[in-house]
Structure formats: C-alpha cells, structure tokens
Structure 1
Amino acid sequence: MGQVTVRVNGYSHPVSCEDGQEQHLLQLAAEVEIKVGKVKAMGGQFGEARLLLLAALLLADDVHDLRVDVERARAGQPPLPRPAADAGLADRLSRIAERIEGIAQTLEHP
C-alpha cells in the first residue's frame, strides 16, 4: 500500500492509497488546496474545520455542475452557461456552513 504526505492549508497529512495512486492523490490534494485558497480569498475568519467544510462545498458544487453537464450531453443538450465568478458565493457558502453547524450542534446536544 502506498503512502504520501499531502499538504493543505499549511498542514501535512499522511494518507494511504493504492500502490501507483500516489501522484493522483497529490493532484487531488492540490485541488483541495486551490479551493481552500478561494475560501480564504473571500475574507472572513474561518477555523480549520469551517475552512475545509467551505472548500468541500465548493468541490461538491463543481461535481454537481459536471454531473448536470454530463446528463445534458447524454441528452444531446449543450452545457448550461455558468458565470465566471459568483459574487454572492461567499455569503451563500457561509450561510450553508452556519446551517450545517447548527444542525451538528443539535445532534451533539439533543
């Protein structure tokens, strides 16, 4: 089994992977680091968990958009136009994160 150390937001994390997948895992970590950088560029004070949550939400949004594009391509339709940058994205992500944190708190303290 392979193992690499990925670096995200200044922290090193050893991660195991299948032999031969080390470079792929490093590329995935680089994508996460890009999203972390985008969240940081939005401004605001974020703890590590919130920062990673917002980065994960950005990645999930990318995956969603790609799935929609694939479904549309299979149906013979063009991809949906997407704005280059969403000015309200930071606010929307922050509100989503707050809602998730609220739900997590109610689950921890019934």
Structure 2
Amino acid sequence: MAQLNVSIAGKIYRMACADGEEDHLAGLAAEFDRRVSDMQQAFGQIGDLRLHVMAALTVLDELQEVRKRLSEHDAEMRAVRSALAGGDQRIADAEGQAAAALIRVSERIESLARDLNPMSVSGGAVAATPAFAVTPPGD
C-alpha cells in the first residue's frame, strides 16, 4: 500500500492508498484543499473543522445533484430505447402489411389480365378476334 502526504488548509496529512493511485489521491486532496480555501475566503476563520465539514457538504451536494441528473438521463435513455424498439416493431408491421397489399394487388392484376384475355394468360393462342377494329376513312 502506498503512502503520501497531502496538504489541506496548510496542514499536512499522511494518507494511504492502493499502489498506483497516488496521483489520483493527490488530485482529490488538491481539489478538497481548494474548496476549503474557498470556504475560508467566503466565511473567514471559523475553524478548520467547520470549514472541512462545509467543504465536504458542498461536495456531497454536488455529488447528489450529479446522481440525480444521471438517474434522469438513465430514465431518458430507457424511454428512447423503448421508443426505438416500438418503432422497429411498427416498421416490421408496416413491412408485413405492405407485403400483404402487394400480394393482393398482384393477384388482382393477374385476375384482371385473365378476364381481359383468357387465352394469352392461360398459355393458349392469342384470340383471333381483335378487341377493336380500325376502319379507313370514307368506308
């Protein structure tokens, strides 16, 4: 276990941490020292213990606010995922409906084609009588 000295409000504290965490702990101590110093500038000399408690409470207040926002963002993400999943299902349903409609249209076209020309659709010979006739002018 590693040990290092940190300075908070001008006092040295010997701290222990896991090996490799020294820089992280030093950074945390420096941030806390800054907060205590800010409290001291705002409220004057009201005692080290009181300054430390006030600084700790402000840190906890910020932490609580961050947790609240994180929880709200998590809820928003769940809602977005749910909406996307619902959208995927609606797309799949629409694709199924479109495919069914295409099949119905195709069947109707085939039925109309059979009704218009039963011989050509069934594979037989083309009808001998044309559906219309062109007559030259004056006849």
Cα RMSD of the aligned pairs, angstroms, is 1.3
Residue 32 (str. 1) matches residue 5 (str. 2): no
What does 1:50-61 correspond to in 2, within 5 Å?
50-61=50-61
Q: Any unmatched runs of 5+ in structure 2?
A: 78-139
Residue aligned with 2:45, SS: coil
CA shift, 1:34, in A, is 1.8
CA distance in 2, matches of 1:56, 1:34: 12
CA distance in 2, matches of 1:45, 1:12: 19
TM-score where L is the length of structure 2: 0.52
CA distance in 2, matches of 1:5, 1:44: 26
* Structure 2 residue aligned with 1:105: none
Structure whose alpha-carbon radius of gyration is higher: 2
* Structure 2 residue aligned with 1:14: 14
* Structure 2 residue aligned with 1:99: none
CA shift, 1:68, in A, is 0.7
TM-score where L is the length of structure 1: 0.66
What does 1:1-110 correspond to in 2, within 5 Å?
1-76=1-76
- Identity rate, percent: 34
Give the paired residue count.
77
CA shift, 1:37, in A, is 1.8
Q: Which has the higher contact order (CA 8 A, sep 6+)?
A: 1
Structure 1 outlier segments of 4+, above 4 Å? none
Q: What letter corresponds to residue 70 of structure 2 in structure 1?
A: V
Q: Any unmatched runs of 5+ in structure 1?
A: 78-110
Q: What letter corresponds to residue 50 of structure 1 in structure 2?
A: R
Give the structure with the larger helix fraction: 2
